[in-house]
Amino acid sequence: MTQENQTPNVEDTSVQVSPQTGQVSAETEALVKEQMPHESDDIQRQTMQLVEALRTRAMSDAHSAGDYTRERYLAFVKEARETLENEKLFDPERIEYSAKLLQYEVEKNWDSFQKQIQELGDRIYEAATAAWNVLTSPRDPNA
């Protein structure tokens, strides 16, 4: 019998980062240049794109979650109102008034909710930046 060359099936774990705009914010550029002054332009550029992609993804995910939550909540309010109207347990005009009042409260508080989501995205970005700073900081050889 001949023994065949067997190579283990190794999964490709490379990551492709391709920002939609290719643009990097001034804040990201300054951060990378400050933290990696001795790296080549190519490494700095790739790092900037990675940080920008992470930031964009975090903001996009936060925004998507907010939109989905609001849509589901408004759908629930509408469904509850229709159910109550169909059951004829309450006065339809009173239900309509209550639904409008509830919707007003949701929309009034929505800006606050979005601000909190934005702050969460900013905090995630800051945490990623802090982690990057620790990862790229020079080590003391005497330690």
pLDDT at position 143: 63
Number of structural domains in the chain: 1
- Reported pTM: 0.38
Mean pLDDT of 12-33: 63
Is 117 a member of any domain? yes
Which domain does 87 fall in, by range? 26-134
DSSP H or E stretch at residue 83: helix 41-87
pLDDT at position 102: 78
pLDDT at position 18: 44
Instruction: Summarize pLDDT for 74-113 with one digit per residue, the tens.
Output: 787 778 777 766 766 666 677 677 778 778 887 778 878 8
pLDDT at position 95: 67
pLDDT at position 31: 79
Is 64 a member of any domain? yes
Q: Which of 28-32, 84-88, 120-124, 138-142 has the highest mean pLDDT?
A: 120-124
pLDDT band at 22 (very low <50, low <70, confident <90, very high): low
Mean pLDDT of the chain: 74
Is 8 a member of any domain? no
Is 17 a member of any domain? no
Is 93 a member of any domain? yes
Of 25, 116, 101, 3, the closest CA to residue 63 belongs to 116
Is 7 a member of any domain? no
pLDDT at position 124: 92
Is 16 a member of any domain? no
Q: What is the DSSP string of 22-78?
A: ----HHHHHHHHHH-TTS-HHHHHHHHHHHHHHHHHHHHHHHHHHHHHHHHHHHHHH
Measured on CA atoms in the order 81, 85, 87, 91, is the torsion positive or negative?
A: positive
Is 13 a member of any domain? no
pLDDT at position 123: 92
**What's the CA gap between 83 and 94, in Å, rounded?**
14
